[in-house]
Chains A and B, each alone.
Chain A
Amino acid sequence: MSEVKKFLYVNRKAPYGTIYALEALEVVLIGAAFDQDVSLAFLDDGVFQLAKGQNTKGVGIKNFSPTFRALGDYEVTKLYVEKESLDERGLTLDDLLAVTYEDEDDDYEEKPSIRLVSRAEMADLMSTQDVILSF
C-alpha cells in the first residue's frame, strides 16, 4: 500500500559556485522512480539554474542544464519559477531554457514545464506540500 505524497524540491542556489544545484537535480531524478507528486521550485539565485546558453567548457565542470529538459520523461513536469526572483536579477521567462513535457492526457501535446508564479503563490505552494527538500 503506497500513498502518493506531494514532494517539493526547493532550489535557491546558482548552478556552479556550489554543488547544491547539481545534487538537487540528481535527487529529483532518483526520486522520480518512486511515483510521487513532484514539483520543483526555483527562487532567489536558484532561477540562474534555468538560464539559457550555459557553456561550462571554460570551467571544467559538466553543464547539467540540458538535464532539466529530460525531466518530462520522468514525469517531472512542474517547475515553478518565482517572478520576483527573476525581476531582481534582470531576467524574464525568455532568458530561461525551454523546458517542456508531452502531456499523455492530452494526445501527447508538448507543453511548457516552467510555470511563472508570484512570491505569494510560491508561499502557497510551499504550504501545501507533504515533504519539502531544500538545496
Chain B
Amino acid sequence: MSTLHTVNKSPFATQTLQSCLNHVKDGDTILMIEDGVYGGTVGTTIAVAVAAITGKVAIRVLEGDMAARGINADRLINGVTPVDYAGFVKLAAETDRTQAWL
C-alpha cells in the first residue's frame, strides 16, 4: 500500500512541500510538478530535508516542468530523478491512492 503525493507549489512560496515531507510514509512517492519542481534542486534551503528522505521515499520531478524552467537534470538533488508524462501516469496507476498537496 503506497501513496503518490504530488506537490505543485514552490517551497519558497508556501509550506506545501514541507507539509508533504511531514506526512509521507516509507515506500511512498513524491512527484514534483509545476512550480513544485524547484523543490528538487540542489543548494536550496529545503534541499537537505529533501535529500534526507530519498532513502525512504522516491522523489521524482516532471521533465516538462523542469525544462520549461531551465532546470537540467544535473541540478537535481542526488537520488531525485526526472519522470515524463507517461511515467506520471504509470506512477498514478501503480500506487493505491494519489494525494495532491495544493
Contact = CB atoms under 8 A, between A and B. Distances in A.
Contacts of B19: 12, 43-44
A120 B97 CA distance: 18
Contact of B99 (A20, A44, A124, A134): A134
Interface residues of B, number: 16
Contacts of B101: 12, 134
B93 to A, nearest CB: 15
A12 B23 contact: no
B69 interface: no
B44 interface: no
A93 B26 CA distance: 30
A127 B23 CA distance: 9
Nearest to A43: B19
Contacts of A135: 102
Given A43-B19, A44-B15, A44-B19, A127 B100 contact: no
Interface in B1-21: 1, 3, 15-16, 19
A123 B97 contact: no
Contacts of A122: 23
Given A44-B15, A134-B102, A127 B22 contact: no
Contacts, number: 39
Nearest to A88: B15
Interface residues of A, number: 18
B24 interface: yes
A20 B102 contact: yes
B54 interface: no
A123 B15 CA distance: 16
A132 interface: yes
A13 B9 CA distance: 14
A79 to B, nearest CB: 17
A91 interface: no
Contacts of A127: 1, 3, 25, 28
Interface of B: 1, 3, 15-16, 19, 22-25, 28, 97-102
